[in-house]
Each structure stands twice: as structure tokens, then as C-alpha cells.
Amino acid sequence: MNISNQEKIKLVMAKDWWETEDLGGKIGKVKVSDGPVGLRCLAVTDSWANDSIYPSVAYPCYQMLSQTWNLSLAHKMGRAIADDCIDHNVDVILGPGVNIKRTPLCGRNFEYFSEDPYVAGMFGKSFIEGVQEGHVGTSLKHYCCNNREYSRYWLSSEVDERTLREIYLKPFEIATKAKPWTVMTSYNLVNGVRMSANKKLNQVLRDDFGFEGVIVSDWEAVQDPLDTLHSGLDLEFPHNAKHAEVMQEHLAAGRVDLECLDTSAGRIVALGENAAAEKKLQKVQYSVEERIAISQEVEEEAIVLLKNNGVLPIKEGKICVTGAPARNYYHGNGSSAVTPNRPFVPLDEALRNVGMDAFYSESIAKAYGPLILVGNIRKACMDSEQSDVTILTVGTGPGAEFESADRQSISLSKEEADAVRYLRKHTKKLVVVVYAGSAVDLSEFDNLADAVVLAGFGGQNVSQAVANVLTGKVNPSGRLTETYAYSLDDIPSEHTYRDEGVMVYEERLNVGYRHFETHGIDVLYPFGYGLSYSRFKYSDLKVRVNEKDVDVSFWVENVSDVDGKEVVQVYVNEVNPIVYRPIRELKAFDKVFVKAHDKVEVQFKLAKDAFSYYSTAKNEWVVTPGHFIVEVRKNAHEIELAERVKINL
């Protein structure tokens, strides 16, 4: 195909807001769309106009998806979203986001999986595999170190090389094994260089991670289009008329590296050809109703039971439901905000649908970001006195968690804190259900409630899923994928240096549970934590060191009368490291179903990278021969089994 250099410049600049350039039909065009917790597809391609969004299935946010600890569900949800894309002729969904939850204040945390790079990478990989199995492409994002929304276009994330490799690049290294069609760079700078023009990290993506697809900018992230092209970015989104004019001027003046231009333009042509070939293979696997059911299935496995003094599951009695999230759909806002294709079902209605005697009484009526509308809370207290169980729903929402801005604190509203105190005085049994996309301060709610349930941003069928868990139709099996600290002051990233131009990652490797466990700091709920209606017992750990890997096996027994699913977690601890290493790091996990009074054997194979660290002296991953402790834990803080072994891989 004969394509002029002027046309190649057009190819690397995008055609409009959501489509690549097709040179008047000369090559294939690729349509992309926001997501990825549901399709945010617009009826127009030349703007970001919210009033033109097609209704679609709203799935649980990534925080909730990861809390399933079930990679097959990530794959299944990805495959369902591929069907949504097929319905609207979308070639590439802009996700998944695998950025690390460095701080609970990040406004986009609901779009990210975890504070742990292994969890984030594995869920990103499974989601990509699910989407692309449906012959729809993905855009792994936001590469990298986009861990706050504060001044996101201009702030430089200052990160040392080892921390980059072990924490912030690791999820991308894992997820790129699924061969995403594209990778999207983040808005921010890293170590003084804008990510859309960061040649060093683009080369890491290509040379070290083996990525062969298209590197694309986040929307309006490019500042210097020539520098960006020469640094390895292939495609600027959206179309920028001024940049297109400048690039043609650079071309005419001989300032464009034609080899770079040929390479990037060639990748755009290949992307179009691949999308066209994949489109011929597309076939919808799930009906819309089946996709909605998948959304509910994910939420049911993601809900975390944080506290239970015997009040749950609710089997009978009169239930008073109150609080704003019970009657209003809570979700994160911004580019991942989906317009649900079915009406929201209130929680009291969902409870009645499963046979419970439930009614709604207004207390906190609505939330407009930090502004809370309080209704007749006195009547809600009176209604609670006449009920057997009161369910108070609290949380954040689209006005509090959204793209482009960070939260001001991790506290819920003062009015909701008041409500839990007032209701505690009047109700026999108090259940608090929390709707939030990231960690919040639940210490007061935990103290006063008989049970605390994390529903998160659970998608359009969140009420049905919560009702099933509260009544025992579903045994809760979700586990946290981020730490819930007692105070924001306990988060190390909140005490590091930041000014008008830089944000220094002074805590280095001490992110999330790595910090709390290494330094012995108490938390409200540790990473990996969650309760069940079943009880499980672990036994018979065996660790066998082979020539190139390590086999780990043990048994999990259900010692209760209730069938249940248990999340098993394997951590590794180097006994006498020659460099600093956190006291433990997650290296394997699974979710296993165990029938009542039955047991199952769980097996893992730990490869060399489970024991390695990144050596900046050698510029490679290194395993120091010596002793390691392989730990089987219920969560990062509670150990079940452990064995010390000598490793020389």
C-alpha cells in the first residue's frame, strides 16, 4: 500500500474524538470507547458529550471485581463487555486500568484493582483475555504512576527505579502477557518526563515486557507532538488540529524522524487491519439479560462481610431500610460512568423480592458530593424501634469519587455518622451497608453496628446482590484488595513531599499492607480480609523446592454446615535479605469452593519471580540464594500455615 508521509502524519494524529484516521477509506478505521466497567459509548464521535451516551450494562467497578479474587469472573466480565462493544460497533474498549492504589484519596481508585501489583496485574490480564476472546481490543492503562488526580497533567511522580519495577510497572508487566491491542499512557510526568513522551519507559514496555501493539496517549495528554512521536508514542487522541498543522510543518522542514514515523504509522495500519479481521470473527455470546446476570454474579462474589455479631444472615422479621444508597444508584463518575440500561431497584424492594418483610424509612435522603440532604431521621429512628433489624446504607458516590479530582478525606459524611449513632439507640439489630469505590474510615460504624457489609460500587444490580447476601441466599466470599487503615495519618504516602511540580514517592516499596505489616501498625481491616457464613480450617502444608520452581500444597476444610467459598492467599518472606524487602508479599491466590464438612486440596506452583527483587545494580531481577518462609494466610495479617525452605533457583 502506497501511503505518503503526509498521510502517515494523519495516521498518528487520530481522526476525531473516538476514531482513528482511515485516509478516506484507504485503510481500516478503529473505533474506541470509554469503559471499562460497562460501555460508555457515545452516539457521536466528535465530542465527549454526556447527553449522547447509549444505555448499557453497568458492571461492578474494578475494586469490586478484584474483591472476588476470582480470575475466571474477570475473564467472564471481560467477555460480556466485548458483547456490549459488538452491539455498538466498538473495536477497542479503553481499559483495564491497573494503577496501584498508593493512597485511598485518589479519585479514580474505583477504576483500579488493588494496592498490590500482583493482584492488579493478574486481574488486568484476565480481563484483557476475556475481552479479546470476543475479538474486541483493549487499552491497558494508565501507563504509569497515575496514582493521584491532583494536577494530573503537570505533576511529576518522582519514583526510584526499584520501586517502579516492583510496584508500579509490575501490573503492566503481568497484564501485557495477555497481548492487549493498545497501551494508554497516563497524563502525568514520571521523573520529570511526560509519560506520552517518556522514551525510556516506552522502551521498557517494548523491550522488557514484549508489547507489540499501539501505544496511545490519554485524551489531550500530548503537549509536544514531535517529541512524543520520537519518544515512541504511536497515536495521539483525540484529533488536535493545531498539532496536525504543526506536524505537517515539521515534516516539510525535515525535522521528523521518518523511521519513527514509518514505524508508528505502520502500527496504526496494522491495528486497523487486525480490527477488521477480528470483526469478521465476532459473535455475541451473552444476551443482554445474561450480561446483567453476570454483573450481579460478580457483585455477589465481591461483597465483603466486614463484621458480623450473628445478625446475618437475616432469616425473618421486620426490616427497616434507610439511607441514601438504598434508594439512589451509587457509582464512580467520569469516563467510566455508565448509563444503566435498566431502572435501579431500591434495596427494600430487592429484599421484598426475596421474601423479606422490608420497608424504607427516610433518614439521609440524598447526597450531592459533600452536601447531604437529611430527611425525617426522627421517624426513621421510630420505625427502627418497631423493626427487628435496621439496615443503614451509607457511602460516597458520583459527587465524591470521580476522574480528575481527589477526595479530601476518607471520612464518610458527618450526617451519616450521626445517623448510625441515632439509630443505635433505637434499633434491636443494626446492619450497615457501605457503598464506596475505595477505602473509607469505618471505625465508628464498625464500633456501633452489629454487622458491616461492603457493597462498593456494585453495578446496576447491586441491590439484588446485597439482598441475597444479607439473607443468606449467597454466602459472602469477597475479600479486601486494599487495606482499611484506622486513619489517613497511617498512610505513608500522605506524609511524603509534594509541591507545585513534583510528588515524591518517599515510601518506596511500603505501599498498602507492605507498610502496615512490616512496621507492625494496626489497621481496621487488613488486606485480604473478609468473613463468611462458613468456617474453614487449613492443614498439611507441603512445600517442595524443584530445580526451577516451588510446589506448594495444603488442604482447606469447611468445618461448618454451610457450603462456602474460601480465598486462599500465599505470601513469601525472605528471612535474611541483603537488600530491604517488605516482611511479606503476596505471590499466589485462588478462590476455592468447599462443601459443608468437606475438604479440598489446593496446589500452587511458585516460579522464580515469586522470590526475586529488582536489582538496580544489575538492572535485572535477582533471587538471593537463602532461606524463605512460604506462608498460607487468610489475609495479610492472619497466618494459617508456614514453612521455611532454602531457595537456590
pLDDT band at 399 (very low <50, low <70, confident <90, very high): confident
* Alpha-carbon span 413 to 104, nearest angstrom: 16
Task: Let me know if residue 192 belongs to a domain.
Answer: yes
Burial of 382 (0-12, 13-18, 19+ CB in 10 A): middle
Sequence-ordered list of residues with C-beta below 8 angstroms from that of 477, at least 6 positions apart, any chain: 68, 69, 301, 530, 532, 564, 565, 566, 567, 591
d(CA 238, CA 409): 33
Percent of the chain with pLDDT over 70: 100
Contact 111, 332 (CB under 8 A): yes
**DSSP secondary structure letter of residue 473:** S
pLDDT in tens, 528-562: 999 999 999 999 999 999 999 999 999 999 999 99
C-alpha 393/C-alpha 433 separation (Å) is 5
For residue 614, the number of C-alpha atoms closer than 13 Å in the C-beta half-sphere is: 15
The answer to whether residues 260 and 372 belong to one domain is no
Sheet of 182-185, strands arranged across: 32-33, 92-93, 137-143, 182-185, 214-216
Our CA dihedral for 38, 40, 43, 48, rounded to 10 degrees, sits at: 180
Measured in whole angstroms, the distance separating CA 419 from the mean position of its chain's CA atoms is 30
Dihedral of alpha carbons 103, 107, 108, 113, sign: positive
Question: Average of pLDDT values for 504-530?
Answer: 98
| Lowest model confidence (mean pLDDT) among 376-380, 400-404, 523-527, 553-557 | 400-404
pLDDT of residue 29: 96
Q: How many CB atoms lie under 10 A from the CB of residue 152? A: 23
Cα angle vertex 305, ends 554, 95, to 5°? 85
Catalytic residue among 83, 91, 116, 218: 218
What secondary structure letter does DSSP report for 44?
-
Confidence (pLDDT) at 368:
83
Write the DSSP string, 481-522.
SS-B-S-GGG-GGGGS-B-SSEEE-TTTT--THHHHHHTT--
Looking at residue 46, its pLDDT comes to 82
Question: What's the CA gap between 128 and 355, in Å, rounded?
Answer: 39
Burial, 545: exposed, middle or buried (Cβ in 10 Å; 0-12, 13-18, 19+)?
middle
- 434 occurs within a structural domain: yes
Domain assignment of residue 521, yes or no = no
Whether residue 273 is found in the same domain as residue 369: no
- Domain termination site, one of 279, 313, 333: 279
Neighbours of 7 (CB within 10 A): 15
Residue of 85, 108, 110, 38 lying closest to 294 (CA atoms): 38
Beta strands in 32-91 (DSSP E): 32-33
Residues 254 and 312 grouped into a single domain? no
One domain, residues 270 and 328: no
User: Nearest Cα to 5, choosing from 174, 246, 252?
Assistant: 252
Based on the domain organization, do 275 and 321 belong to the same domain?
A: no
Enter the DSSP assignment of 475.
-
**407 and 539, same domain (yes or no):** no
What pLDDT score does 483 carry? 98
Torsion (CA) 463, 468, 472, 473 in degrees, nearest 10: 180
Three cell numbers written together for 178? 495477555
Active site residue 598: no
| Position 116 confidence tier, pLDDT thresholds 50, 70, 90 | very high
364: β partners:
374
Predicted local distance difference test score (pLDDT) of residue 1: 74
Q: How confident is the model at residue 444 (pLDDT cuts 50, 70, 90)?
A: very high
Average pLDDT of 159-172? 98
Dihedral of CA 122/123/125/126: which sign?
A: positive
Is 287 a member of any domain?
A: no
- Identify the CA nearest to 347 among candidates 330, 335, 332, 369: 330
Give the residue, 232 or 44, on which the prediction is more confident.
232
Task: State yes or no: pLDDT of 566 exceeds 90.
Answer: yes
The yes-or-no verdict on residue 467 having pLDDT over 80 is: yes
Looking at the structure, do residues 349 and 478 belong to the same domain, yes or no? yes
- Mean pLDDT (the chain) is 97
- Asked if 578 and 450 sit in the same domain, the reply is no
- The CATH number of whichever domain residue 142 belongs to comes to 3.20.20.300
Express each pLDDT in 117-146 by its tens digit: 999 999 999 999 999 999 999 999 999 999
- The DSSP secondary structure of 549-596, one letter per residue, reads -EEEEEEEEE-SSS-EEEEEEEEEEESS-SS---S-EEEEEEEEEE-T
pLDDT digit string, tens, across residues 483-500: 999 999 999 999 999 999
What span, in angstroms and rounded, lies between the C-alpha atoms of 222 and 240? Answer: 9
Joined together, the cell numbers standing for residue 154 give 503537570
What percentage of the chain reaches a pLDDT higher than 90?
96
Domain membership flag for residue 284: no
Question: Containing H/E element for 307?
Answer: strand 304-308
Residue in 527, 634, 434, 400 with CA at minimum distance from that of residue 66: 527
- Of the candidates 244, 279, 314, which is a domain's last residue? 279
Are 148 and 89 in a shared domain? yes
Q: Tell me the average pLDDT across 364-385.
A: 93
- Give how many domains the chain has, as a whole number: 3
Residue 36 binned pLDDT confidence (cut-offs 50, 70, 90): confident
Say which DSSP state 152 is in. Answer: T
pLDDT mean over 292-301 = 98
Stretch 296-304: mean pLDDT = 98
Residue 431 is part of a domain; what is its CATH number? Answer: 3.40.50.1700
Report the SS3 class of residue 350: helix
Bond prior to 331 in cis (omega within 30° of 0): no
| Number of neighbouring beta carbons within 10 Å of residue 610 | 24
Q: Which domain holds residue 231?
A: 5-279
On whether residue 341 sits in a domain, the answer given is yes
- The residue out of 482, 497, 525 marking a domain boundary is 482
DSSP class of residue 80 equals: H
- Domain co-membership, 329 together with 214: no
CATH code for position 538: 2.60.40.10
Burial of 49 (0-12, 13-18, 19+ CB in 10 A): exposed
Cβ atoms of residues 7 and 24 within 8 Å: no
The model's pLDDT over 39-78, given as tens digits with 9 standing for 90+, comes to 999 988 887 776 789 999 999 999 999 999 999 999 999 9
Q: Using one digit for the tens of pLDDT, what is the confidence trace for 15-25?
A: 999 999 999 99
Evaluate if pTM is beyond 0.95. Answer: yes
Whether 590 and 444 share a structural domain: no
CA–CA separation, 409 vs 395, rounded Å? Answer: 13
Residue 490's pLDDT is 96
d(CA 210, CA 98): 18
DSSP-derived letter for residue 176 is: G
For residue 247, what pLDDT band results from cuts at 50, 70 and 90? very high
Is 349 among the domain residues?
Answer: yes
Is residue 493 in some structural domain?
no
244: CB partners within 8 A, 6+ apart:
9, 10, 13
Q: What integer pLDDT is reported at residue 48 of this predicted model?
A: 76
Judge if 587 and 474 occupy the same domain: no
Weakest mean pLDDT among 202-211, 368-377, 610-619: 368-377
C-alpha cell at 627: 532461606
Give the residue carrying C-alpha cell 520501586. 163
Distance between CA atoms of 66 and 439, rounded to whole angstroms? 14
pLDDT above 80: residue 348: yes
